[in-house]
Amino acid sequence: GNSVTQMEGPVTLSEEAFLTINCTYTATGYPSLFWYVQYPGEGLQLLLKATKADDKGSNKGFEATYRKETTSFHLEKGSVQVSDSAVYFCALTSSGSARQLTFGSGTQLTVLP
């Protein structure tokens, strides 16, 4: 079956630091990969996505590259801000369940001023 493994948190960084949150996956077929973000007290919202190998998703300074050879989709940002403090979820859908997302356990990020 499908599964997503994220680095465990919580992660605490100083403002302007470099961020990496690791994500690896197991899936049947050719999955689409996603990063969702959840700000305090809110629902999840899509941050970025990639639908095929070597695609790079990007949004709000965040980037992730779909690496089929390492089954990874690591999230990166060059300079984090306090407003980036949130929980980040890696997720996938596969060709056998295109409309069902499988989520990782989430990584709590706190950015200190």
Partner 1 sequence: DAGITQSPRHKVTETGTPVTLRCHQTENHRYMYWYRQDPGHGLRLIHYSYGVKDTDKGEVSDGYSVSRSKTEDFLLTLESATSSQTSVYFCAISPPSSGGTGELFFGEGSRLTVL
The residues binding partner 1 (CB under 8 A) are 4, 32, 34, 41-46, 49, 51, 89, 91-93, 98-101, 103-106
CB of 2 to partner 1, least distance (A): 10
Q: 3 or 14: whose CB is closer to partner 1? A: 3
* 52 vs 82, beta carbon nearer partner 1: 52
Least distance to partner 1 from the beta carbon of 99, Å?
6
Three-state secondary structure along the chain?
CCEEEECCCCEEEECCCCEEECEEEECCCCCEEEEEEECCCCCEEEEEEECCCCCEEEECCEEEECECCCCECCEEECCCCHHHCEEEEEEEEECCEEEEEEECCCEEEEEEC
In the complex, the smallest distance separating the C-beta of residue 112 from partner 1, rounded to whole angstroms, is 22
